A and B are shown apart, each in its own frame.
Chain A
Amino acid sequence: MSQLEIRSVSHWFGGLQALKDVTFDTHDEILGLIGPNGAGKTTLFNVISGFIVPTSGEVRFNGKAIHRLRADQTVRLGLARTFQIVKPFASLTVEENVLVGLGMPYYPTSAALYQRYRTRSNLDQVEQILAKVHLTDYRSAQAAKLPIGLLRRLEIARALATHPKLLLLDEPAAGLVAQEAEELAALVRDLYAQGLHIILIEHNMRFAMNLCHRIVVLAQGEIIAQGNPTEIQNNEKVINAYLGQE
């Protein structure tokens, strides 16, 4: 069974159609979602993660319809995300940012009102997650003071703390220098090797082509091609719509 099924999803913002009848499935893979600016990639992420209810169509995750769920509900099913423009909890430390993700099971319950979050076992988990994304040295730093490269890692760490099955990364390499992008690609591969499925939106073509097993190309809200990186690189429609512009 496909992990994520997107069926005929369309979305309108007033008179503008951002997504047109988008249909695809994801499996055990790192899937790239590419396309020129305004292609609808982030809108699609917002639909999948519960920030937007699509005008029509259906999204299923492990067989369960999720397109009417809120973001705080989809994450509970094992679907975590990061943001194109990073959204750290700026006033909190790196450690506290990750703890927020660990609290996911508690927030809808009354236990959240009396149970303390700074326990030994939670702090141990934070340590493991920070080690995974190489942020251990910044544990006590205030998020507001971190550079963009570290904030992107922090967003991934925070998402990992919710113990996801599928991770949506919105332009994880944006703003990173080549070496940072390489390290990030290695991290994504690691996470995949540990059993996590990943969809990533990317503008950095080399990054996406090297990393992804399969790529879906969106242009003006429609899927114009899907296949492995080699097929995509040789697809004429893609070259015209996107790669040709580079």
Chain B
Amino acid sequence: MASGYFLTILTFTAMYISLALSLNILTGYAGQVSLGHAAFLGIGAYTSAVLTLRYEVPFWLAFLAAIVLTGLIGTILGLPSLRVRHDFLVLATMGINFVVVSVFKYVDFFGGAMGLVNIPAPSLFGITFRGGVPYLLLTTAYALFTLWICWYLSKTWSGLAFQTIRNDEEAAASLGVNPARYKIYAFGISAALAGGVGSLYAHFLGSVFPDNFVFVESIGMLSMVIFGGIGTLRGPIVGAILLRLIPELLRFIQDYRFTFYGALLVLMMLFQPMGLLGNDSWLWQHLTRWFRSSARSAKEDVR
């Protein structure tokens, strides 16, 4: 049914909004560019799948465990960021993605290349969230939760500290920010939120395979953040919506999704490095100018 198909697309879009927002904490706020975010999605998905399938842990506990465990693993995997910066960090995060996928693929406990199947659908108070509108509500609620965390974080001292290490680590240290501590925080929080999406992802599909979390998926997530407007709240949301929906609406580019992402990234880097709705972007400046002038004329009309 068309509406079922549409609901599935929206459910995935909600999950990718959460992923893009979570990556934005690390890359947008704290300036640590990562090409390994799919690894955290995978860790969350496998944690939840293993706990519910093998140990019959209820979904909600497995969901929380996926958040906590992915956050802890993200904290550990963030340690290389203390030694390497910039392009070397990007390479290190790529390496992390490859290692994590290899563990899923070659360790029997995780089902190997055949993955894990028959992952149960979540249920709460007798309601089973088996796709459709209920699952869309669940993933939307999580996207709103992620948005709230990002918004709140940006108002705290930690949010300010993230911005200082993105701008200049030495200046940050001279004012009392320990860059190492805040990089680790950013990795931990970003990974934990992605882990939560992983759990929702696994229980939505009912199966997980190592290939769901490969490096190109990480490129897709980073593209969403950069395309929409890195470091802002609106950017990753708009980026995730457009980059999930455009390939669905224009079916002929579906097979070339990653070619499309790649070309878009190159164009954005060349012409709008701040992204479509970044603070200094052409579109955002025009939009804010337009809002301001219409607010002014509305005021004059009232007079």
**Chain A residues engaging chain B, CB cutoff 8 angstroms:** 49-51, 70-72, 75-76, 80-81, 83, 87-92, 96, 99-101, 103-108, 111-118, 158-159, 161-162
Q: A75-B176, A89-B164, A100-B177 are in contact. Are A115 and B171 (CB under 8 A)?
A: no
Shortest CB–CB separation between residue A178 and chain B, in angstroms?
Answer: 27
**Chain B residues engaging chain A, CB cutoff 8 angstroms:** 152-153, 155-161, 163-164, 166-168, 170-179, 181-182, 185, 231, 279
CB contact between B167 and one of A75, A92, A111 (< 8 Å): that residue: A92
Shortest CB–CB separation between residue B283 and chain A, in angstroms?
Answer: 19
A-B contact pairs, 23 of them (CB 8 A): A71-B170, A71-B174, A75-B175, A81-B174, A83-B170, A87-B170, A87-B174, A89-B172, A90-B167, A91-B231, A92-B164, A99-B160, A100-B172, A100-B177, A103-B157, A106-B157, A112-B158, A113-B157, A113-B158, A115-B157, A116-B156, A159-B174, A159-B175
CB contact between B164 and one of A70, A76, A100 (< 8 Å): that residue: A100
Report whether B155 and A104 are in contact in the complex, using a CB–CB cutoff of 8 Å. Answer: no
Report whether A112 and B161 are in contact in the complex, using a CB–CB cutoff of 8 Å. Answer: yes
Closest-by-CB residue of A relative to B178 is: A72
CB contact between B168 and one of A72, A87, A113 (< 8 Å): that residue: A87
Closest-by-CB residue of A relative to B182 is: A107
Q: Which residues from B are CB-within-8-Å of A83?
A: 170-171, 174
Report whether B156 and A114 are in contact in the complex, using a CB–CB cutoff of 8 Å. Answer: yes
CB contact between B160 and one of A75, A96, A111 (< 8 Å): that residue: A96
CB contact between B173 and one of A70, A88, A103 (< 8 Å): that residue: A70
Q: A90-B167, A92-B167 are in contact. Are A115 and B173 (CB under 8 A)?
A: no
State the main secondary structure of chain A at its contact with B: loop
Q: Tell me the bound Cα distance from A39 to B156 in angstroms.
A: 42
Closest-by-CB residue of A relative to B159 is: A117
Most chain A CB within 10 A, of B160, B171, B176, B178, is at B176
Q: Tell me the bound Cα distance from A55 to B32 in angstroms.
A: 31
Report whether A91 and B160 are in contact in the complex, using a CB–CB cutoff of 8 Å. Answer: no
Q: Which residues from B are CB-within-8-Å of A162?
A: 175-176
User: A103-B157, A113-B156, A158-B175 known; 16 other A-B pairs, CB under 8 Å?
Assistant: A51-B170, A72-B173, A76-B176, A87-B174, A88-B167, A89-B172, A90-B167, A92-B163, A101-B175, A103-B177, A105-B176, A107-B161, A107-B176, A113-B158, A113-B185, A117-B156
